[in-house]
Amino acid sequence: MSLQKKLSEFVTRTEYKDIPGEAITVAKQSVLDYLGVTLAGSVEPIGGIVKEYLREVGGGGLSTVIGLGLKTSCPNAAFANGTLGHALDFDDSSPSLLGHPTVPVAPSAFAIAELTEASGEELLTAYAVGVEVECKLGLVVNPAHMGKGWHCTSTLGAFGATAAAGKLLGLDSEQMMYAFGIAASESAGIRANFGTMTKPFHAGRAAENGVVAAMLAKKGFTSNKNALEEEFGYLKVTTGEYYTKAIEKLGNPWELVAPGVYYKLYPCCHYGHAAINALLSIMRDNKLDSSNVEYIEVGATQAIYDNLIYHEPKTGLEGKFSMQFFMANALLEGNLRLENFTDEKVSDPKIVELIKKTKFQVDPEVDKMVPYELGAAISRVKLNTKDGKEFTKNGMPTAGLEELKKKYGICASYVLPEEKITETMNLVLGLEKLDNINQLMQLVSNNPP
């Protein structure tokens, strides 16, 4: 059986009852996290640009744009919500995907769910199979795919978005194969655009591409049913080295359960979160602040070093991919918040001075602890004080449900009043009970009834 057929049959055959309860719990948490970061992203400068763009291109008012108070076509809504969801680089990540699993899939699912008036169970099913498809494809192609410079959130996310949209549209197996073939020709996104508005554009385009692929396939639009594996197909063109047997593990275990999803406590690249946690822990446990610090060393995995590419950032967006900037901010502020990642903050003389005190490098010992694809999982931070003391700690990127609730409250407050924050949180955490997803989308639209 071809790779495309295996993926298609998995998507079309999977029902809500087939998904373990633990995976459903993670799915609801991921959707909550996604809605929060999208609401916060809607008030960023990129939100204004997207709103102007949508008004210019038009489109029927079928699907909600989160936080912007308007409706547009299904593909346009998926594009906008994917872009806004990734605008702050505050959304979840997956070690299998080597990217962000929810931000291409959820916008695609929500856009189609409004069209079909899907239930919460139907949306969760579509979301779960979408994440499963893109993450298992991550195991097929990575690390070679990412190593060539592809942005997996975009390239592989397009397949996850296609799966989610196709599931909600009720595609049969053959139509789903066509949809994946279409997605193979849509897939794109290069890592050279990290640190610019085009990185969140990648997520938006992946979500949009999934909707377009599924909608076209539903109407009989065809593609090569073996577009992934043929001589000039997706795998050989974009990757070269790949491991198709990973697909045999579809749903066993579910990616939402193992290895799971990493949630962000800080609005920046997840590859820096282990080091941020370690540094904040050192400071808290030893009652230190920036005035005590002589210098900092961050020993990281090769994967972390490869992704945090701005060693002397010049913009707030570049700061989201700078280990040195993370350390300087954490030292000065005692945390990293949404308002820390601005052009002004990057050029703050105090930050610039602290950046100079930070050494960031690959630590061979740390790099050996985890494979490349799990490279965000650990960092080692060494802090030396002006009075000659040295503190060392290994950090891990972690966040639990209570932290996610707090994060959602902060992010949603940029757009929603307190009563809507509570109502939307309760709806999402009990999403399987919702009869029609439009009830939730009306609340997060920032548009009066």
The radius of gyration of the chain's CA atoms, rounded to the nearest angstrom, is 21
Q: Is the pLDDT of residue 373 over 90?
A: no
SS3 at position 31: helix
Q: What is the mean pLDDT of the chain?
A: 94
Write the single-letter amino acid at 27.
A
The yes-or-no verdict on residue 26 having pLDDT over 80 is yes
Residue 430: strand pairing partners = none
Q: Where does the pLDDT of residue 396 fall: very low under 50, low under 70, confident under 90, or very high at 90 and above?
A: confident
Q: Which of 5, 73, 85 is nearest to 46 (CA)?
A: 85
Token representation of residue 22 = 């633990």
- Lowest mean pLDDT, pick from 29-33, 366-370, 374-378: 374-378
CA–CA distance, 78 with 66 (Å, rounded to integer): 10
Selection from 409, 419, 439, 447 nearest residue 110 by Cα: 439
Q: 259 preceded by cis ω (within 30°)?
A: yes
Q: Are strands 70-72 and 63-65 parallel, antiparallel or unpaired?
A: antiparallel
Q: Tokens 């063109």 — which residue?
A: 237
Tell me how far apart the alpha carbons of residues 313 and 347 are, in angstroms, rounded to a whole number.
9
Look at residue 449 and tell me whether its pLDDT is greater than 90: no
pLDDT, residue 448, reads: 55
Tell me the pLDDT tens digit for each residue of 97-142: 999 999 999 999 999 999 999 999 999 999 999 999 999 999 999 9
By the 8 A CB rule, do 135 and 92 touch? no
Phi and psi at 190, nearest 5°, equal -115, 145
pLDDT tens per residue, range 138-176: 999 998 999 899 999 999 999 999 999 999 999 999 999
Q: Give the mean model confidence (pLDDT) for residues 224-241.
A: 95
Question: Is residue 390 within 8 Å of 384, Cβ to Cβ?
Answer: yes
pLDDT of residue 1: 83
Produce one character per residue of 42-78: b if its CB has 16 or more CB atoms within 10 Å, e if not.
bbbebbeebbeebeeeeeeebbbbbbbebbbbbbbbb
Distance CA 244, CA 87 (A): 32
Residue 394 sits at φ, ψ, to 5 deg, of: -90, 135
Q: What percentage of the chain reaches a pLDDT higher than 90?
A: 86
**In the structure, what pLDDT confidence band is assigned to residue 353 with cuts at 50, 70 and 90?**
very high
pTM above 0.85, yes or no: yes
Most confident of 104-113, 237-246, 326-335: 104-113
Q: Catalogue all structural domains in the chain, each as residue range(s) with its CATH number.
A: 3-249 (1.10.4100.10), 270-395 (3.30.1330.120)
Retrieve residue 346's tokens.
């990057």
Instruction: Write down the number of H helices and E strands in the chain.
Output: 22, 6
Residues 6+ apart with CB under 8 A from 198: none
Structural contact between residues 360 and 298, judged by C-beta atoms closer than 8 angstroms: yes
| pLDDT surpasses 60 at 47 | yes
Q: Are the beta carbons of 100 and 157 closer than 8 angstroms?
A: yes
Lowest-confidence pick of 32-36, 166-170, 333-337, 422-426 = 333-337
Question: Among 290, 304, 268, 283, which Cα is nearest to 358's?
Answer: 290
pLDDT score for 400 = 81
CA distance 184 to 438: 30
**Beta carbons within 8 Å of 442's beta carbon, 6+ residues apart:** 64, 449
Helix or strand run (H / E) with residue 174: helix 173-186
DSSP string for residues in 115-142: HHT--HHHHHHHHHHHHHHHHHHHHHHT
Return the ∠ at Cα 260 (arms to 442 and 34), rounded to 5°.
20
Q: How far is CA 354 from CA 280, 295, 297, 335, in A?
A: 15, 8, 12, 15
User: Would you state the pLDDT for residue 404?
Assistant: 93
